[in-house]
Amino acid sequence: MLALRIASAGALAAIGAHGARANPGLPVKAIKATYLYKLPDFVQWPAGALPPGEFILCVIGEPVLGDALDRTIAGQTTQRRPIRLRRYPTVAQNPGCQMVFASGSQAQPVAAILQLVRGAPVLTVTDEQQAPGSIGIINFIVVDGRVRFEVDRDAARVNQLAISSKLLTLAVRVRGRTVP
């Protein structure tokens, strides 16, 4: 188990510490998809919040990562569980996911998706959002052509999640209080 954590940390650090440059060999979509299955291993959910069985990753809104996400997570695990991907164009309530990639759409903006899971133990990830209320716990950004991310500790606390200090050190920006 420790070896798995170290391997995951090394893989995430290799991408996160230097960012991953967008190039034809490693497209931005594939980099973001890789982050999506690696990030949960650096998050602590409250006791009993992760049901036994599969780890449910939901994409809500436009399928901005397309097939890259399907290919990248095929056969992968996170939190010692196989990952199951669910896609929803819109949702009316929390769909029971442990992680939500909120891409939004004209029918349901990112802020509305985030509001539906606010307070629930759900890791929210957004893609290059800037508007207040539209930034998830983790928000992908591109800096100097490299995929990076920022973390909102206050949003994590609201959703009852604790972000690993290892992940925080890899973030380009950490928002929120620094005292637990």
- CA geometry: angle 96, 138, 152, nearest 5 deg: 110
**DSSP-H helix ranges across the chain:** 2-16, 28-38, 66-73, 110-117, 153-158, 165-170
Average pLDDT over residues 5-18: 46
Q: How far is CA 104 from the centre of its chain?
A: 15
Cα(7)–Cα(122) distance, integer angstroms: 24
All residues at 6 or more sequence positions from 69 whose CB lies less than 8 Å from its CB, including other chains: 29, 33, 36, 59, 85
Q: Mind listing the domains of the chain with CATH numbers?
A: 2-175 (3.40.50)
pLDDT at 17 over 90: no
Ranked by mean pLDDT, the top range of 3-12, 14-23, 147-156 is 147-156
pLDDT category of residue 149 using cuts at 50, 70 and 90: very high
> For residue 174, what are the β-bridge partners?
151
* 3-class secondary structure, 54: coil
**DSSP-H helix ranges across 39-161:** 66-73, 110-117, 153-158
For 6, 32, 36, 172, the CA distances from 140, given in Å and listed in that order, are: 23, 8, 10, 10
pLDDT tens figures, 96-128: 999 999 999 999 999 999 999 999 999 999 999
Write down the pTM of the prediction. Answer: 0.86
